Amino acid sequence: MKRNKHLIIPILLISFFAFSQNDREKEIDENRNSGFFNITKFSYINIGKAELETFSEIDGVVVNDLPIDNASAFSLQTINGYFFSPYFSAGLGIGLDGYSNPNINTMPLFIDLRLYLSDQISSMYLYTDFGTLIGIENGPKRGRMFNIGAGYKLALSKKKE
């Protein structure tokens, strides 16, 4: 009988810590998709169409299609934003894009809007980016950018505090 009494204390302690840990995980989960965030992404871009707008004093704005045979780019971007609700976020982004065929380097400055379809750790989302492209070298000095798409937010590890 005494032997069983000594086992009760460790069992109660294990139960207490397990219960406490579950409450802590629940608290962390309730805070996801809230507050400020940063997204840093590296991507590959395949270009379908490119146009160059120029201003002519005689004709006004002239739009020319650019030759883009096998045009592509590598892009590095960072977005800093805020979750206004667990399902909607907005942020400001900046990046560097290196295009080939033609060789042009740009710096996009843009607004990023995201709509999350679920408040889970991993979920689908829809996004749109729009802003301006600033030419760094070789090519136009300014341009516009617009992206629309879908993605999947995937948690790589559990948040630890």
Q: Please state the domain extents for the chain.
A: 1-30, 35-153
Can you give the pTM of this predicted structure? 0.66
Q: Is the pLDDT of residue 98 over 70?
A: yes
- pLDDT for 59: 72
pLDDT, tens only, 107-149: 999 999 999 998 888 889 999 999 998 878 766 677 888 889 9
- pLDDT for 21: 46
CA distances from 137 to 4, 102, 133, 142, 145 (A): 79, 12, 12, 11, 17
93 and 131 Cβ atoms separated by less than 8 Å: yes
pLDDT, tens only, 5-60: 555 555 544 544 444 444 444 444 565 788 899 999 898 888 776 666 666 777 77
Strands 72-85 and 51-56: unpaired
